[in-house]
Structures are given as structure tokens and as C-alpha cells.
Amino acid sequence: MGRNIRKRRSSMATKAVAASAALALGGGGLIWANFYASAHESNSYGQNQTKAANAAAQVATISCPDVGQKLTNVPNGAKQGVANELANLDKQITEAYARLASTRQAQAGDPGFVQNAIVGPLKEKRAATIDRIRINIQRSGGQFDNSLSQLAACTTQAANNTNAGQNNGGQQNNGGQQQNGGQQQGGQQQNGGQQNNGGQQQGGNGGQAGNGPVASDFVDITKVQANVKAKPGKNGQASNGTFSVSCGVNANKNFNTDNVIVAPGVTNGAHHTHDYVGNQKINAFSSNNNFLQGGTSCSNKSDLSSYYWPVLRLQNGTQEFDQNRDGGGKEGNVGKILTAQQAEIKYVGSPKSKVVAMPQFLRIITGDAKTTTNGLANANAHWSCTGFENKVQLTEQYPICPQGSKVVRSFAFQSCWDGKNIDSANHRSHVAFADGNGNCQNGFKAIPQLTMRLIYNVPAPVIQNGQVKNAYAVDGFPEQLHKPSTDHDDFISITKNNLANKIANCVNNGQRCQ
């Protein structure tokens, strides 16, 4: 399995400063207003927005169709080759976004620059890469959907519509079951594009590295209406037990920027940094053959499962260990990495049925790291504050918590399994959420639902004159602009000594186990 060799380039933060200077010199005095306000977010403040007439023409980010989400079947012999090519697609977008951020002056002087110098060449690279995916699949005897070739072309999103086309349907609420309908949220507004976090000059896209977050990504949670729906009712077949595991908070700083589920065999396949708890030897080159050799941070030594999530950073000017590395500062993920004060991991049952044990090496990804371009269909981010979790859960904004309250990230994973596969080509089809009543559909079986709750002590951001100070943000792909909705969580079930069955039996018997 070959490594993904990446060219060295200057940091995103440096490019953002250059972009800021370009705007000042050649951008016509642009006011970067409301860069990331969703088209469907309610505005409970009624504030006026300041928006220059020509701001709409300015490109905020690059939006490319997610080819991996469209794959339905990849033959075993093609899986590694396809994974490498999907990683190449992500690398190409990352590099194109970096070029977008560093050429603002050229863009101001030439209306066709973005199309001719960035988006056009990107389409050609993507077309060649998608064709290599086709060759890999067909060479291994698989069928290639020729419509995937139409996904080569990318578009740009302007400053005033970076969330265009997103919807609030299919969100998950505090009970962890799939719900229909959106979450009502308050909306902070942004009147200026340059910020001062940690004394650094900021670019038009906001944030310490010039790619978010911005003021409209934050909301005072005390001003948001309650939006948490009631959990589905339980019947006589409900599995009422819980099984808690204690695996620490990654205090030993076990980080990497790989993603063995999505990009096996590819270094820096995630393009952002993950916290890892549980299995201590997970990286791009781990596999079913050596998962059981990893050791674990969990108190139950039979639990070698891997629990990993993007780090949360305080954008205060701190030069972290990865400031000049891929996946870190070179890709717009900057600032002090915050370690959760608590990481509560618990398996819960189904309100409608007994559960079956998770199969060995089952992989689940919950949420979507690319919601800025994919929309919210697979979003499963839940942001709140201690004392507010049963009332308010946010998907599209980071909470500003009142004094004495702490930031909470929570996840409720898919709880239905197809009964056959430990993974799928798009890493989603083999698992699903229960419906609004708590039932698994389409012949899927209920499994213990993994839930996670991460609690952070975060200095409260301050919004002043449309700017944010003390911003915090979750790591992500640079073109995703550090949106709160891109938060996601990853899991690989790895157990020994019959632990998977013990978890299922505990949940089915209504016990409280650990």
C-alpha cells in the first residue's frame, strides 16, 4: 500500500494574510458580510446585515460533488485502488482551495481567473481520477456507474450563499433517533470579514487561518428556543439497559490525520487531526489483521474498539505541534488543541426491540465532514452547553455558553445494521438510523447504539461589531470552512473475550453495566 506523497506548500494562515492584503489592495473595499449564514436559519435577533453589492461575486469556497458517497459497490480487488483515488480527489480539492485563498488579487483583476486557473484545471484532474476509479472497478470485474463521470465538474460558492441548498431534514435529536424536520436556531450576524484572534490579521473567510469560523457560526445558547423533541415511546420488547465504557480523553495526545475507514493506506487521508481513544495503534495502515494487537486506553481491556473524532481548537494564536504540517496549519487547522474534560461513551438499547451483538470490525461513521458542499442530509452534529442539553441542540452553530456552563459535543450513532456487512462502499449503506418511532426498516436489525458525550472547558467567544474573538472550531477539510455542521465521529468495533455479546445481553436484560 503506497503512501500519499504530498507537495510542501506554505501554510493556509500565511495565504490568508496574503489574501487579506489582496482584498485591501484590489478588492474594491469589499465588506465580507454574513459569510456562512444558512439560507434556512432563523434570525432571532432581527439585526441588519451589511452586504456590499459586489460581495456576492466573491468566491468563498469550492464545491465539488462527493464521489465516494455515490459509490454503491466496489469489488474487493479494487477497494485499495479506489480508496487511493478517492483520497486523491480530496487532495486535489485541498490544493485548489489553497490556490483560491492565495490569489485574491488576481481574482479581483480578472473575472475569469477562478474558472480558468482553478476550477477548470481541477475538473480535468478530477475527470482523470474518476476514470482511474472506473478502471479499478472494471478491472476487478465490477460494474461502474457511468453517471459518476459527470461529477468531475466543481462549482464555486459565493460569500452570500455558502449554505445554499442545505436543508434541516433528517436531523438527529437528543434521543438519538432519526427525526424529520429542522431545528430552530437563533442566528448571529456578521458585518465584517476581518477578525483579530490572538493578534493575527485575518482574511476574508474569517478565522485564524482565513477559512472560518466567523461570527455567524456562533450563537448565545440562552437566546435559542428549545428544540429537543421527545424520545420515541418504548414498547414491551424494548432493550432498556446501558453499557458504559471508560476510555479516557486522549490525555496522552494520541493524534493523527489519517482515516483508516475512508482512506486506508493513505497518509493524511482525513486532512485534519483526530483524537483517538480506545485502540492505541489505529492509523492509515491498520487493518483487521492487526487491530487486536493495538492495546487500549479503555479500563475494560477486552474493548479494543477505536473511537476517534476531529479535535476541537481554540483559535487564540497558539502555534500547535502541527502548525507546519499537513492536516494541521498547512491545511487551515490552527490554534490550541483542546482536550475534553470528559468523554462519556455508552451503548444503549432500542425502544422497540431487542438488539443483536455488533459484528467484529464493524465500521460506523456518523455525521458528514463535508456538509458545506454536500448539504445537511447526513449531518449529525450536536452542539450544546451543560445545563441546556435537554432543551437545545445545535447543528449549524457553535454555542456560546453562559458563565459556569461548558461546551458539549454529543453523538448518537446509527443503531440499525443490515446483518451482513461490516462496511460498505460509501461507508453508510450497511448501517442506518431508526425511524422516528424507533424502528429499524428494510430488514435491518437493531444493534446497541453507541452514544458519545464530550465536554470541554472553552473560553466563551465574544461577538463585537460582527467579529468574533476567542473563536473555537472543530477540525475539518479546509474548503469546508470549519462549519459546526461538519462535526463527525468514527468507530470501529474491536472486542475480545465475548465482549460484544456481553454488551448486547446487558442492554437486552435492562441492566446498567460497565
pLDDT, tens digit (0-9, with 9 covering 90-100), for 364-411 = 999 999 999 899 999 999 999 999 999 999 999 999 999 999 999 999
Structure confidence by residue, pLDDT tens digits, 114-135: 999 999 999 999 999 999 999 9
pLDDT of residue 204: 53
207 is written with which cell numbers?
478565522
Average pLDDT, the chain: 84
DSSP characters over 220-232: EGGGSPP-PPPPP
- CB 226, CB 392: distance < 8 Å: yes
Cα R_g (the chain), whole angstroms: 22
Cβ(26)–Cβ(103) under 8 Å? no
Q: Over 60: is that where the pLDDT of 268 sits? A: yes
What mean pLDDT do residues 295-314 have? 98
Going by C-alpha positions, the residue among 125, 132, 131 that lies closest to residue 90 is 125
The pTM is what?
0.83
CA-CA distance, 321 to 15, in Å (whole number)? 19
pLDDT given for residue 373 in this prediction = 87
Mean pLDDT for the stretch of residues 325-342 = 97
Per-residue b or e along 65-75, where b marks 16 or more CB atoms closer than 10 Å to that residue's CB: bbbbbebeebb
Residue 108 CB contacts under 8 Å (≥ 6 apart), including other chains: 22, 23, 26, 27, 28
- In order of 97, 144, 303, 334, 490, the CA distances from 272 in angstroms are 15, 30, 26, 10, 13
Q: What number of CA atoms fall less than 13 Å from residue 304's CA on the CB side?
A: 19
197 falls in which pLDDT band (50, 70, 90)?
A: very low
Contact yes or no for 384/392 (Cβ under 8 A): yes
Q: Residue 87: which H helix or E strand, with range?
A: helix 79-102
What was the pLDDT predicted at 288? 96
Using the predicted structure, report yes or no on whether residue 314 has a pLDDT greater than 60.
yes
